[in-house]
Every structure is written in C-alpha cells, then in structure tokens.
Structure 1
Amino acid sequence: MADTALHPGDYGAPPIGRVRWTICLMLFLATSINYVDRQVIAILKPTLEQSIGLTEVQYGYIVDAFQIAYGIGLLAAGRLMDRIGTRIGYMLVMAFWSLSAMGHALASTAFEFGIARFCLGLGESGNFPAALKTVAEWFPQSERSLATGIFNSGANVGAVLAPLIVPWITLRYGWHAAFLATGVFSAIWIVWWYARFRQPKEHPKLGDAELQHIYKDAAVEMGPQVPWGRLWGQRQTWAFGLAKFFTDPIWYFYLFWLPSYFSAKFHLNLSHIGLPLIIIYNVSAVGSIAGGWLPAPFRKLGFTQQRARLSAMLVCAILVVPIFIASSVNSVWIAIALISVAAGAHQGWSANLFTTPSDMFPRSAVGSVVGIGNMIGSIGSAIFAFYAGHVLQLTHSYASLFTIAASAYLVGLMILYFLSSGLRSAEIAA
C-alpha cells in the first residue's frame, strides 16, 4: 500500500518531482563537453597531416596514448568517486581534462601531441565512473537505463558540436585556437555543479515523494563497502569488462577515424566533413535514448529486468552487423546510413551495458566496477588503435576494421551472458 503513494498517476497521489532529471541534464552536459574535447584531434587529423606531417602510424600511437592513460586513470577514477564522492570528484576530473585539452595547442610534434593526449585520457577517465555513480545514487533501478541513455547521448551531442565548432574556428583562427575554445564551457559547468549538486538526502529542492522514489530499492542495493581487490575475483566484473573490451574499440574507431575515412574514401575536406558527422552523431543520440528505453517494452511482455536488458542489447548487436559492407560502398549517403545505424545501435548497447554494474553490484561498488570495466575496455581500444594505424598505413583499406566492428557486439553479448549467468547479482561476502 505504501508504494502507491509514489506514483503520480494514482488517485490522490502527490507528484514525484523532477529534480533527479535536472541532475541527469548536468551529466548530459558534462558528457557533451567531454566528447567535444575528445574529438577535436580527429577532425583536425587531415589538417595535422599537412601541417606537421602526421602519419597514420603516428596517429595510431597518439590514440594509444589516450587509451592507455584512460585505462590507467579508470583504475583510480572509480575508486576516487567511491571515496570522495561525486560532487568534488567530478569537478576535479573535469578541470584536469579541460586543461589537458587546451594543452594540445602547445604541441607541434607527434610526440608532444602524444603527451597532451595522455594527460587528456587521465582526466577524461573520470567522467563515466562519476556519471554512472551519480545515476545509481539519484535513480531507482527501473529508471537507470533511461537516465544513462540520456546522459550518454551527450557523447553524441558533443560529437555533433565538434564538427560544427572546430572547422569554423580552424579556418578563421588556426588549429591551435580550436583546442583552446572548449575551456569556457568547462569552467561554466564546474561552477554550476558546485553550486547546485548535492546528494539526494541533502538536496534542498527534493521533495519527500521523489526521495522515497529514488530510495525505494536502497535497502537491497546499498550493501557494505566492498574491498577493491575482491571485485577482481567476481565473474560479473569480468563479464562487464570483457563486453567493454570487445565493443569500446568500435566506438573509438568511429570517433577517431571517421573524419579520416570520409576524407580518404569520398574526398571530403574540412569544409564538408561536418555534415556526415552531424548526421551520424544525431542518429547516435537518438539511439542512446531509444536503447535506454528499449528494456521497457520487454518488461511489459513479462520479461525480468535482466532478461529485458539482455534482449535490448541483442537488438542493438544485430543492428550493427550490416556495417561490414561500409568499406565497399561507393555512395557517401549509403555509407552515412550504415554508420549512423551502427553508431546509434552502439549507443543503445552502451546505455544498457553501463547499467549492468548497478544491476549486479551494490551501490557502494558501482563506481569501482565501472572503473575496472572501462579500464579493460581501454586496453581493447588501445590494441585496436594500434592495429588500425598499422593496417591503414600498409593497406589504405578499412575493410577489416568494419568487419571487426560488425561482429564485436554479438561476441561481447555472449561473453556478458555466460560469465554473469544472465546478469545475476554478485555474491560478495561482507
């Protein structure tokens, strides 16, 4: 009977409130800034090839520097969020990554870009552990995949803003200025977060009904503090991490090599590269939100929460498969359509995959599990970036890269399902 008071559609029930969705908006904007900073170098790659003689192999090494640092940072970032909390922790990591992004303007060689990229990877590693821990703190389990899908769609908005902003700044003020421009957005967000973010119990604008709604699963989810080393022995940790290992590299391939792909195959220059990327990442934003929503209709069919999540991920994995022909098509619009669907499906997959740690672990361990899993994903991304740089330098063909992308999600889903026994909760002794 008590639960009926939490639903605004019931007779006489008070409205739940929407403060938690304002928090989700803040996460969305932080992720947008994160991806603008991350994608600047990808858009400028053809420009840097001309201005500093950057090669495919060198570019692969620069991407590797980011991925290696990202993986190292994730080991600490998740634990940092669990230890000091997201209010201070999120501000610290954003300040560090923003300064690192602006530091690219000082680079003039591939080695110097590698150093700047390494620092950027260390800073940006904190975004997703912080955001996912915030979702676990501010949303009940039933809303988390949608909240994750919404904030994760910020990655696509950032990827859309970058091709709008970076070419315009570069053509007028030079590529150095393009790396400096995003620092303003970071400074505004940091002030806003510090002023407005609190834990649910401490938030001055959060009503009792919404607080009860947020914490309705808390009794079974909070759990004890879990030693970090113990998480490495859990099958569920490795299930999440290996699913990231196989699928994270594909997203980074899109992010860091699509401008080069369109330039090499369809001869699109800096003035024309924006439209394909804008279309792809707008579709990706829709895919992120739709993927987060997708478990809901499966739940209405009577599926359990775990089975609904896995079914949504299967749909997304199947939608990626046609991308294997992207290297052989001769129409830029067919290529855009194939990559748009695949990128949107990736984001739908990601919205659900990011939610699985909070499905399988107590809230006190979510940040650490996300950090471990993302670190494993970064290892896969570094290996793939090394491979991509060398194969493109030798063959100038994207065929094997798109073939790997087409199959990675089905492989990742099988590993996730069997290792986690269908997303079963981890059994962690106190």
Structure 2
Amino acid sequence: MDRTRFRWRICALLFFATTINYLDRQVLGLLKPELAMRFNWTETEYSYMVVVFTACYAIGLILSGKLVDKYGVKLGYGICVLVWSIAACGHSLVRNTLGFSFMRALLGLAESGNFPAAVKAVSEWFPRREQALAVGILTSGTSIGAVAAPALVPWLAASYGWQAAFLVTGLTGFVWLGFWYLMYYAPQKHKAISVEELKYINENRAGDDDKGPSVNWISLLKIRPTWAFVMGKLLTDPIWWFMLFWLPSYFSSRYHLDLKNLGLPLVVVYVATSIGSISGGWLSSRLIARGWDVTRARQITMLGLAFLVVPIAFSPWIDNMWAMVGLLSLAAAAHQGWSANLFTTASDMFPKRLVGSIVGMGGMAGAIGGTVFPLFVGALLDHFKALGNVNAGYNILFAICGSAYVIAWTIMRLIRSSNPRTDLGSMPADSVT
C-alpha cells in the first residue's frame, strides 16, 4: 500500500484553528480607534483591556497544557474552540468597558489552549524531521488571521456596525468544530492512514511515547531545558503582542490613517509573517533532512531570524510609510519564523506526553510578559502623548523590539543543555505523579 499523507490534513485543521484564533483576538485592536472615541477610552484604559486578556491567557495556558496532556488533544482542543467562539460573539452584546473586559477575559482563557493542543497534535502526527515545518504552517495561521482581520473587520464595521465584526468572526469557530469532530483521532486509531504512514510518523521515536508517568510542574522547572523554552517565550512573545495590538494605532498616529485606510499596510505586514513562519520552519527542517544535528539546526536558524528583527530599531529614521511597512514586515516575519522553531524545541527536548505541559508553561511565561509589557507601553505612550510627541514613545518601543530576540537567543544558548532530549529518567522518584 502507498504511504498516505493524511497528516497534512490534520496540519490544515490546526492551521485553520490558529487562523480563527488570531482573527477573533484581532478585532478589538482594529476597532480600537472607533471604540475609543465611542466609549472615551484613554491609552491606559485600553492597555488594561489588553492586560485582562493576556493575564487570563497566561492563567489558561498553564491549565490547558496540563488538561490536553491528561485528556487528549481532541477533547481539550474542542472545548477551547467552543468557549472562545462564544466569547468572541459575546463582544457584540456588551456596551461598556467592564463588559468588554469580561469578554476579553473569557476569550483569553479559552484561546490559550490553541498552541499547547496544536503543538502536541504535531508531536503525535509528524516525524521529528517534519515537525518544524508543520508548526511553521500552523503558526502561519496567526498571520493569515491577522491578514484576514484588517481586510474583513473594517468593512464589516463600516457596512453593518462594529457589533457585526465581532459576531461574524466569532461564528467561524463553530464551523471549524464540525470538521474537527469528524476528522481528528490519534494516528494509531485513525482509519484513514496507511500502515506505511504510521510507520513513517513513528520514525526515531524511541523513548518518546505517552505511556510513561506524568511529571509535575515543580520538577519540570528544576531542569534546564524547561527554562530555556520558558525564557525564549518570556522575552519574545510580548513583542508579538505589541505588534498585534498597537500597529493599527501606530499607523494611525504617525501616518494619519483612518479605519478605512489601515487595512492595506496591515495586510502587507501580516502576509509577510505567513512567509516567515513557513520559511523558518522549512529551513530548520531542511537542515535536519540534510543531516544536521537537530539542536544545531534549530539554533542556527533562530539566530539568523533574531538578527533580522534588529533593523526595526532604526524606525525613527524611516519617514516613508511603505519603507516602514517593509521594516515591520521583515521583523514580524522573522518573529513568526522564530516562533515556529521555538515551539518545536519543546518536542525536540521532551517526550510527547509532556509537550502540552511544556508549551503551556512557556506560553504562560510569554503571556506574563505580554501582560506586563502593555502596561509599560500604555504608560509610555500616554506620557509622550501628553508631551505632544507620541511617536517618540513608539521609537523607544521599536528599539526594545529590535534587541529582544538576540538577547533571548543568547540566554537560551547559555541555559540549554547540550543534549537535544531531556533525560527524564534521571529525575528522582518523587518527581513523577
């Protein structure tokens, strides 16, 4: 029997879920100029709503990772998508800051399950040599969601009102759930794949299964690879949060774009991120296929991507809007390529029974950074806005963005063990549960 390729259909499902995940969360940022005028929000008040989302996202990550490891991808992922779709639609029903904050909290809790579940699904469905590419494809959904949002949301808001933008985007999750329920099973239980594909998926999986004991969080925090992943997420995830939530305001303040004209620059930036996500995943996968050590392939790829973000620090000297769009596109694309490889290091270093927990722990660290950083962003921008020069605040923020990835790579390199797989067998007996 010929080897089937059903695993790529699973990858497509994960891609579409991630697209919907980012489509839903992007709506508030795109409507911020209109809603800020309607509800008289200050930058600080808006930053509080961002913080509510990211704080609940952080809490949800640590819980959802453990939940997915314990009960499986199909059930855990399905519940998360159901709840976040309800929350996304719920934004259309609220009329005050408190109501928006509540819906952001619920959305953050539920959306946190996306990456722990998706990366664990990749670890189950793909051989190690293809995992970075698969993660790159699914994480490109963040870019497609971010592209679809500025193309769709302003039109919906202008044509049917801001409530319609939240309602229509939220309903897409319910459509996805139907396909998920029908298509997803663990590969060893799936009737649609051949024996040859299952054998290919399980290549080089010695010692990498779900049959070992679980390991508690405290014990995982005692080993170096956990901290390498956690620090990588802590230092770079906030940069993506900043790009996601503040780029519309940046283009509005510096280049005086209104809601109708914001779409094209943002679409260009987020299309570039799709290219970066897939290319970054492809590059390290290609190096491994050519015989490179897994650790070396990931590290070299991530270092190159880290340096591609550095030019964004030169934004004060870029006056032309499209030149700035190009600079932001390069930085955002490099982030997504970085993220695809960073996620894959979790399945490189840990057996798949622990991948959800590790991704959740790292994601929580990134979300904590994403919670604290917006407070700094809001206060900084309000300070410079009061001085009549809000763009000076953005210049400082872009300098921080430009240096974050090189710093993160250096710290990860110093922390991480030279062994690409974590030897959990060396842990003391009381570390397992």
Residue 9 of structure 1 corresponds to which residue in structure 2? none
Distance 1:29 1:301 in 2: 30
Deviation string, structure 1 residues 377-429 (Cα, Å, up to 9, x no partner): 11111111110011011112201110110011011111111111246322223
Q: Distance in 2 between matches of 1:389 and 1:111?
A: 18
| 1:225 maps to 2:213 | yes
Query: 1:23 aligned to 10, 17, 23, which one?
Result: 10
**In the alignment, does 2:178 pair up with 1:182?**
no
- Residue of structure 2 aligned with 1:62, choices 29, 32, 49: 49
Aligned match for 1:191, one of 162, 171, 178: 178
| 1:184 Cα offset (Å) | 2.5
Once the 2 structures are TM-superposed, how far is the Cα of residue 322 of structure 1 from its aligned partner? 0.1
1:32 aligns with one of 19, 40, 50: 19
Q: Tell me if 1:337 matches 2:326.
A: yes
2:394 equivalent to 1:398: yes
Describe the shift of the 1:55–1:285 C-alpha distance in structure 2 as closer, same or farther (beyond 3 A). Answer: same
- Aligned match of 1:375: 364
Secondary structure of the structure 1 residue equivalent to 2:261: coil
Query: Could you tell me the TM-score, scaled by structure 1's length?
Result: 0.94
Partner of 1:150: 137
> How far is 1:77 from its partner?
0.3
In structure 1, the residue matched to 2:262 is: 273
Query: Which residue number in structure 2 is paired with residue 116 of structure 1?
Result: 103
Give the superposition deviation at 1:54: 1.2
Any conservation in 2 of the 1:79–1:367 contact (CA below 8 Å)? yes
Whether the 8 Å contact between 1:356 and 1:423 is mirrored in structure 2 is no
List aligned pairs for 1:121-270, cutoff 5 A. Answer: 121-222=108-209, 224-229=212-217, 230-270=219-259
- Rate the CA distance shift 1:87–1:412 in 2: closer, same or farther, 3 A: same
Distance 2:214 2:413 in 1: 23
Cα distance between partner residues in 2 of 1:88 and 1:296 = 29
AA of the residue aligned to 2:231: L
Q: 1:177 Cα deviation (Å)?
A: 1.4
What is the count of residue pairs matched by the alignment? 417
Per-residue deviation, 1:233: 1.6
Q: C-alpha distance in 2, partners of 1:176/1:145?
A: 38
* Separation in structure 2 between the aligned mates of residue 178 and residue 293 of structure 1, nearest angstrom: 34
Q: Is the Cα–Cα contact under 8 Å of residues 328 and 399 in structure 1 kept in the other structure?
A: no
Match for residue 7 of structure 1? none
Check the 8 A contact 2:2/2:194 in 1, yes or no: no
Residue number in structure 1 paired with 2:387: none
- The 1:296/1:75 distance shift into structure 2, 3 A limit, reads closer
Give the C-alpha shift of residue 302 in structure 1: 5.0
Mind listing any 5+ residue stretches in structure 1 that lack a counterpart? Answer: 1-13
Q: Find 2:58's aligned residue among 71, 79, 104.
A: 71
Aligned partner of residue 354 in structure 1, secondary structure: helix
TM-fit CA distance, 1:112: 2.2
Deviations 1:242-261 (A, max 9, x none): 11010000111110000000
CA distance in 1, matches of 2:420, 2:194: 33
Pair 1:143–1:383, CA change in 2 (3 A):
same
Partner SS for 1:221: coil
CA distance in structure 2 between the aligned counterparts of 1:310 and 1:219, rounded to whole angstroms: 23
Two-structure CA RMSD over aligned residues (Å): 1.3
User: For 1:310-333, what per-residue CA distance to the aligned partner results, in whole angstroms no more than 9, with x for missing partners?
Assistant: 000001000000001224421110
> CA 1:405 to 1:104, structure 2 compared with 1: closer, same or farther past 3 Å?
same
Aligned equivalents of 1:184, 1:117: Cα separation in 2:
16
1:97, 1:342 → 2: CA distance? 29
1:232 Cα deviation from its structure 2 partner: 1.9
Q: Residue 204 of structure 1: SS of its match in structure 2?
A: coil
Q: Find the counterpart in structure 1 of residue 76 from structure 2.
A: 89
Quote the sequence identity (%).
Answer: 45
